[in-house]
Chains A and B, each alone.
Chain A
Amino acid sequence: MATATASGAAGPKLNHIGLPIVEYRGGKSTLCAGCGHNAISERIIDAMFEMGVEPERVMKMSGIGCSSKSPAYFMNRSFSFNSVHGRMPSITTGAVLANSTMKALGISGDGDTASIGMGQFVHLLRRNLPMIYIIEDNGVYGLTKGQFSATADIGSRLKTGVINDLPPIDTCALAIQLGATFVGRSFSGDKKQLLSMLKAAIAHKGTVLLDVISPCVTFNDHEGSTKSYKFLQDHDEPINEVGFVASFDDIEVDYDSGQVYDVEMHDGSQLRLRKLLEDYDPTDKANAVRTLMEAQEKDEILTGVFYIDTQKPTFLDQLNMVDEPLATLPESLTRPPKSALESLMANLQ
């Protein structure tokens, strides 16, 4: 943990805003032991701690499902809104517009996003609203005891023997196509990659879409499932190695510069992608979508940062809003003077 400093010989490590990691923890998880979602919660805690994000500046938003319960299991000091099924994007949009100084972290699942929530999901992507959208993707409905979701792969088999024969929706390809400005896929079991991607996501301004494959140990972790730990370990093909150097950090990522794609983030941090796929350019939209489509045909699950654009205006830029939160603007700014009403009335006479 490069950013942490010791507060004394026996004291806990503190991050650069002086908080120990315990201040980023949440309640005890009620999800199954071994659930990928718990690992994602752990990485969120690590990433927020290491980035020194003030917990009170974070809004944890979710819909309904196993994934959407998980905000109760990290960052108790952050404000949390567990809303209705598939509607986390609209709740988050309203909350960010009311207070654009907050960091919004949305947690959703594959059912919550790619089935019931598809309408709101695609329109959120179009707007490039500043937020981090994490899909905890296990291809299955857990709370209702194991039905296929729309991200399940063709040929994937349920424990009951049911085979999925409909094509999966690739949420990353959709996100790239529709306007998200930071799109990646990771695996809940890949601590290093997921942590780096989350830290870069925190530094990004715009919609971040992270599809994190997160095996369901109860309903979808058997032979024949394409979202099992075993399948992921065999078929995970990283396209880049993700390194991240925070703006307040001065450590070097020891990559050979010839193979590195550096992206300067809004806050001055560096996202450093070491190419594993030859000539992969994460700023080339069309190529990113094509690469994902080709991988799907080969039964490969690509992970890494597929697409990044740090220049595109966000929804807040487009609305040309004041920097202060709308929520706390003084009445002097929100109630027009008496003369305004009088002139309106005069014009109607």
Chain B
Amino acid sequence: MVAWYPITPSTSLIEATTDLLKKFRVTPEGKATFAVVQAEDELAAIGMVLGAGWAGARAMTSTSGPGISLMAEFSGLGYYAEIPGVIFDVQRTGPSTGMPTRTQQSDLLSTAFLSHGDTRHPVLLPGSMKECFEFGYAAFDLAERMQTPVFVLTDLDLGMNNWMSEQFVYPEKPLDRGKVLTAEELEKLGSFSRYRDVDGDAIGWRTLPGTAHPKAAYFTRGSGHNDAAGYTERPEEYQAVMERLARKFERARTMVPAPVEYRNGKAKIGFLAYGSTDFALRESLDQIEKEHGLSADYMRIRAFPFAHEIHDFVASHERVYVVEQNRDAQMASLLKLDLAAEQVVKLRSILHYNGLPIDARTITEEFRTKEGL
């Protein structure tokens, strides 16, 4: 199920998706095995995604900055009520309306913590056309496995421009539909509690509407609930659910796409980057080596929460440059929240945020200035 509201530069993604669905998701009888709904706004778009995810269908929406802001309240519901859904954010230049036809990586912090209260979301950061394809289906597996909204952040450069790409590889693994109890399984168990951590993985079992068992139903709510999905204002019951949600998010470090290490020659200086910054940074690293005789290491971050390898990478370098396309060093800020205090001081930022895609020379010059070369 796809629900969306037109917004530059994410409309291309939906239009391409719709064309492919019409081509490949129609039965021999001519019936659609999908639904695409142009919603009245982004609030409705994500509402439809969560409604469909709750009822058991894989559901997605695609949007850009202003739409992300409108999806804030529902994102918190998805997190707290534990409902799968996938939100693609083809980032454009903010803040506010900004420059809709220009690119940026400036929605990272707002998507990672989208909504009020203690809320956090897995964010996938594809860095190429091929990864946009791969993270496309990985996001649905992750959303259903973790029972939570998953954000996939591309940007206008990846989302609208033409690219050379490696061939996409057909996925061999079956879909991971997550922990769903059938009527037969429920009959054996006798009963279930929607939010109880019975397997020690911080993820409860869910039933889908229509499961033909008198004990299959549960009450989904965004209000305080206990592990049996009952309304609660009891401190210990509320806190138990919040603590489990934190454990679940912690586990996601190993469930999201791992970072890619391009160079690790045990250099003193390391680089971290993500998304479409990759190409410019790789070229810049060649420039730095050629022009300054300096070899630096590079790890590309592909998701939040951060994998342990990212911590190790920072720990094993003297200085780490975080290169990104926004003014406020959003990735560096997010890293600072996660790293140990003695590691935080190693971070330096190279920032580019004029709306045009980042280029190698900008990175090289900024690095040269900062290093005093």
Which residues from chain A sit less than 8 Å from chain B, CB to CB? 23, 54-57, 59, 61, 71-72, 76-84, 87, 89-99, 101-102, 119-120, 123, 319-323, 325-329, 331, 333-336, 338, 340-342, 344-345, 348
Whether, in the assembled complex, B68 has its beta carbon less than 8 Å from a beta carbon of chain A, the answer is no
Check B1–A326 contact: CB distance below 8 A. yes
Q: Per a CB cutoff under 8 Å, which of A90, A93, A102, A338 touches B43? A: A90
How far apart sit A54 and B48, CA to CA, in the bound complex (Å)?
A: 25
Check B43–A120 contact: CB distance below 8 A. yes
Whether, in the assembled complex, B161 has its beta carbon less than 8 Å from a beta carbon of chain A, the answer is no
Check A341–B168 contact: CB distance below 8 A. yes
Q: Per a CB cutoff under 8 Å, which of A56, A96, A340, A348 touches B214? A: A56
- Interface segment among B203-211, B266-274, B278-286, B340-348: the answer is B203-211
Residues on the A chain within 8 Å of B309, using CB: none
How far apart sit A82 and B229, CA to CA, in the bound complex (Å)?
A: 11
Of all A-B residue pairs in the complex, the 6 with the closest CB atoms, nearest first, are A94-B51, A90-B47, A327-B56, A98-B57, A98-B55, A94-B48
Whether, in the assembled complex, B3 has its beta carbon less than 8 Å from a beta carbon of chain A, the answer is yes
Residues on the B chain within 8 Å of A61, using CB: 51
**In the complex, residue of chain B having the shortest beta-carbon distance to the beta carbon of A315:** B37
Check A326–B57 contact: CB distance below 8 A. yes
Residues on the B chain within 8 Å of A120, using CB: 40, 43-44, 47
Whether, in the assembled complex, B290 has its beta carbon less than 8 Å from a beta carbon of chain A, the answer is no
Whether, in the assembled complex, B241 has its beta carbon less than 8 Å from a beta carbon of chain A, the answer is no
How far apart sit A97 and B219, CA to CA, in the bound complex (Å)?
A: 20
Check B43–A321 contact: CB distance below 8 A. no
Q: How far is the CB of A71 from chain B (nearest CB, A)?
A: 8
A-B contact pairs, 19 of them (CB 8 A): A56-B217, A83-B222, A84-B74, A89-B47, A90-B46, A91-B54, A95-B209, A96-B51, A97-B51, A98-B53, A99-B57, A120-B43, A123-B39, A123-B44, A320-B30, A321-B35, A327-B210, A336-B24, A338-B170
- Known A76-B217, A82-B220, A99-B209: A334·B55 in contact at CB below 8 Å: no
Contact with A along B207-230 (1 / 0, CB 8 A): 111111110111111110000000
Whether, in the assembled complex, B188 has its beta carbon less than 8 Å from a beta carbon of chain A, the answer is no
Of A82, A94, A344, the most chain B CB neighbours within 10 A belong to A94
Check A326–B51 contact: CB distance below 8 A. no
Which residues from chain B sit less than 8 Å from chain A, CB to CB? 1, 3, 20, 24-25, 27, 30-37, 39-41, 43-59, 73-74, 77, 165, 167-168, 170-171, 174-175, 207-214, 216-223, 231
Check B211–A56 contact: CB distance below 8 A. yes
**In the complex, residue of chain B having the shortest beta-carbon distance to the beta carbon of A331:** B175
Q: How far is the CB of B81 from chain A (nearest CB, A)?
A: 8
Of B33, B56, B209, B218, the most chain A CB neighbours within 10 A belong to B209
- Known A56-B214, A123-B44: A321·B31 in contact at CB below 8 Å: yes
Check A99–B214 contact: CB distance below 8 A. no
Of B43, B44, B56, the most chain A CB neighbours within 10 A belong to B44
Check B219–A77 contact: CB distance below 8 A. no
- Known A56-B212, A77-B214, A326-B34: A97·B57 in contact at CB below 8 Å: yes
Q: How far is the CB of A177 from chain B (nearest CB, A)?
A: 17
B interface, over-half SS: loop
Check B52–A87 contact: CB distance below 8 A. no
Residues on the A chain within 8 Å of B35, using CB: 97, 319, 321, 326
Residues on the A chain within 8 Å of B220, using CB: 79-82
How far apart sit A17 and B55, CA to CA, in the bound complex (Å)?
A: 24
Residues on the B chain within 8 Å of A95, using CB: 51-52, 54-55, 209
Q: Per a CB cutoff under 8 Å, which of A23, A76, A101, A319 touches B210? A: A101
Residues on the A chain within 8 Å of B54, using CB: 81, 91, 94-95, 98
- Known A80-B219, A87-B43, A333-B27: A325·B231 in contact at CB below 8 Å: no
Of A91, A92, A323, A341, the most chain B CB neighbours within 10 A belong to A91
How far apart sit A92 and B44, CA to CA, in the bound complex (Å)?
A: 10
Q: How far is the CB of A57 from chain B (nearest CB, A)?
A: 6
Q: How far is the CB of A56 from chain B (nearest CB, A)?
A: 6
**In the complex, residue of chain A having the shortest beta-carbon distance to the beta carbon of B73:** A84
Check B31–A322 contact: CB distance below 8 A. yes
How far apart sit A87 and B73, CA to CA, in the bound complex (Å)?
A: 10
Residues on the B chain within 8 Å of A335, using CB: 171, 175
Check A59–B50 contact: CB distance below 8 A. no
Of B33, B171, B174, the most chain A CB neighbours within 10 A belong to B33
**In the complex, residue of chain A having the shortest beta-carbon distance to the beta carbon of B171:** A335
Q: How far is the CB of A125 from chain B (nearest CB, A)?
A: 11
Check B33–A326 contact: CB distance below 8 A. yes
How far apart sit A333 and B29, CA to CA, in the bound complex (Å)?
A: 13
How far apart sit A79 and B206, CA to CA, in the bound complex (Å)?
A: 12
Check B168–A94 contact: CB distance below 8 A. no
Q: How far is the CB of A79 from chain B (nearest CB, A)?
A: 4
- Known A97-B37, A99-B57, A102-B210: A322·B51 in contact at CB below 8 Å: no
Residues on the B chain within 8 Å of A78, using CB: 217
Residues on the A chain within 8 Å of B39, using CB: 90, 123
Check A59–B55 contact: CB distance below 8 A. yes
Q: How far is the CB of A114 from chain B (nearest CB, A)?
A: 16
How far apart sit A59 and B222, CA to CA, in the bound complex (Å)?
A: 17
How far apart sit A77 and B186, CA to CA, in the bound complex (Å)?
A: 14
Check B217–A329 contact: CB distance below 8 A. no
Check A84–B219 contact: CB distance below 8 A. no
Q: How far is the CB of B114 from chain A (nearest CB, A)?
A: 14
**In the complex, residue of chain A having the shortest beta-carbon distance to the beta carbon of B211:** A56
Residues on the A chain within 8 Å of B1, using CB: 94, 97-98, 326
Q: How far is the CB of A336 from chain B (nearest CB, A)?
A: 4
Check A328–B208 contact: CB distance below 8 A. yes
Residues on the A chain within 8 Å of B34, using CB: 321, 326
